[in-house]
Structure formats: C-alpha cells, structure tokens
Amino acid sequence: MDLPVTPPVKPMLAKSVSKIPPGMQYEAKWDGFRAVIHRDGAEIEIGSRSGKSLTRYFPELVEALTANLPDRCVVDGEIVVIHGGRLDFDRLSERIHPATSRVKLLAETTPASFVAFDLLALGDESLLDTPLTDRRAALTRMLSTARPPVHLAPATTDPALAQEWFERFEGAGLDGVVAKPLDLPYRPDARLMFKIKHERTADAVIAGFRFHKSGPIVGSLLLGLYDAQGTLQHVGVCAAFPMKRRAELIDELEPLRMPDPQGHPWAAWAEGAAHESARLPGAQSRWTGKKDLSWVPLRPEWVCEVAYDHMEGDRFRHTAQFRRMRPDRAPGSCTYAQLEEVVGYDLAAVLGPTG
C-alpha cells in the first residue's frame, strides 16, 4: 500500500474518568472490535487494536468498505455485530475462526457492520496532526452517502446530549461515552481521549481462584451468581489486586480450599460437554488457545462486592473490580435478581436503519 499513513497503526486510546468532561466532542462508546481501515484502490486492510490483520475474517466488510470509502483513505472505527436491535459481542467473537469455510458461512449468517469515528488520512494527505474538529468534518463529508453496513458514528459537542446518550444507549448494547478534546491531533497508541463507562455493584459468591502467573499467589477470584433454578453459574472474575493483597488472599482462602472438587457446583468444568448446559469456568476457546485455565475450587461460602460495567448475556462483560468482602451476606442471596435491568433501546435510533 502506498498511503501517507501505512499499516499497521495502533489506534488512539482513552483513559477512564468518572464524569463527562465539559467542552469536548462526545461519541457513544461502541462494544466491538476496534479497527483501523486502510484502503488503497482495490486493496483493503483491516487492522486490529494490536496491529494484527482482521481482513480475512470479515469478507463482507471488505466488499462494503470498497463500495463506501474513497479510493485512498485511512479510517478508525469499530466492527460490530447487530442482532435484535442491539450490539451482540458474543456473535461478533464467533467471527474469529480459523476455517475459511466457517468464515464464509458466518459472513452470510452473522454479518458485521463498521462504525467510523475518525479519519487518519485522505488521498495523499496525512491527518494525524490535524485537529479533531477538522478531521470530523472531513469524515462527515466523506461518508455523507455511505450506506449500511458502513455507518458514521453520531457525535455532539453538547454535554447534556452526551449525558442522555450515556443513560439511554446502554439498552442498545453500547457501554458508555467517549470524550475527545476538540483540538486533539491523532496520536496512535496514546491515551489522550476520555471514556466514561457505567459502573454498578453486585454481591457475588467466591467459588474458586486461579494462581498468578508470577507464582503461588492469587491471580483472580472466580465469581458466581445463583440462577432461578438455584444453580451457581460462573459469571466472571475479579483480578485487580496489589501484589501484597494477592499473597494475603492465599492465606485467607486456605480454609475454603477443596482438595477434591467433587461436590463443588463447578466440578464438571473439565468436561467439554458440561459447558453446553451450564456456565462454568475454564472453557477452551479460540481466544484462550492452550492457555492453562485450571483453577482451585473453594467451598462457595464467602461473598464479595464487585463493581462491573455491564452484562453480556448472563456474565460480566469485562473483568469485575473487587470492592470488599461481605461477611454479612449469605451466598444463597447472591442471585441474578439483584442486577439492574437495563431498559432496551433500538440501535436504529442511534445509527439509523441498519439495513
């Protein structure tokens, strides 16, 4: 490719803040695969956040981007899958598959969309040093006639509208708001933007742990919630502890360790078929590969409070944040019923008709 900004490019990133800052451009925070698109004539390259190519996994997007982008450009955005009027990250994750035949089938049955929100180059001109307001204006003009599945991300400079988006768009599967300084140049791999994400708390059962990669200290706690049938379902992990606290947790959890997993609610975790009927820790996937997913079972008698941003189906979408132990809570009281139910919102109201 002969472009003023050549692949691979790691996208510009955002740091977390608790409130929407004033005086910026605001966009919804998309829950998908970040992607930088390079187009040079007939060549399309879809680069991931890490710089690796995603092109082969999304042949339908290659066709759509060719039809909707100018001959020479570099665009930053998000690959998403829209299902039932909202974003569906699980279906998006399934798109990363090694088999060409499977990739072709999923492109037809679970087609992806691309939401553009920044412009890094156009024609022979690099826009990396151009202020955000000018890049946005150029991107808006460039995509004025774009059609689904290529979309221009909505943006505003009105903080009140951004707050409304933050409160309403979650029901369509979006997970917050991104704020960008108006004069911001584009700086790959630098955290110069701001993200405001939802945070809620839940009381969860501690049912196991994994060792830290550095040695015999706690790496992460395995969390569970009871469903309506009284089954303890694995919902995720919390893992952000100082090293000293990781060592302390080993001693604190020792009385709960089970030398034999028989009798533990997740005792069947190593059996592949068991994952088809229950949410258990340790399922192998194309993401984990040969990574050691073994864990230490604990009697499910302790409860902790964790913070989470949102749910993906019946699990925490991201790693939860440990807040405190809850010795006052009974494990059986830790059910899905405590979780806040997000009001649904049709993604078409965010992007317009999705085709």
Kind plus residue range of the DSSP H or E element containing 72: strand 72-83
Q: Which two tokens stand for residue 175?
A: 């997970």
Query: Catalytic annotation on 19?
Result: no
HSE value, Cβ hemisphere, 13 Å, CA-based, for 24: 18
Which residue among 15, 29, 195, 244 is the active-site one?
A: 29
Q: State how far the alpha carbon of 11 is from the alpha carbons of 15, 86, 95, in Å.
A: 13, 24, 21
- Tell me the pairing of strands 150-152 and 232-238: unpaired
Output Rg (C-alpha) for the chain, integer angstroms: 22
Nearest CA to 259 among 303, 208, 212, 296? 296
Backbone angles phi, psi at 156, to 5 degrees: -150, 160
Kind plus residue range of the DSSP H or E element containing 335: none
Task: Please name the residue ranges forming H helices in 254-296.
Answer: none
List all residues 6 or more positions away from 58 whose beta carbon is below 8 Å from its beta carbon: 46, 79, 95, 107, 112
Collapsed DSSP state (helix, strand, coil) of residue 207: strand
Whole-angstrom Cα distance, residue 53 to residue 7?
9
Which residues are known to be catalytic? 29
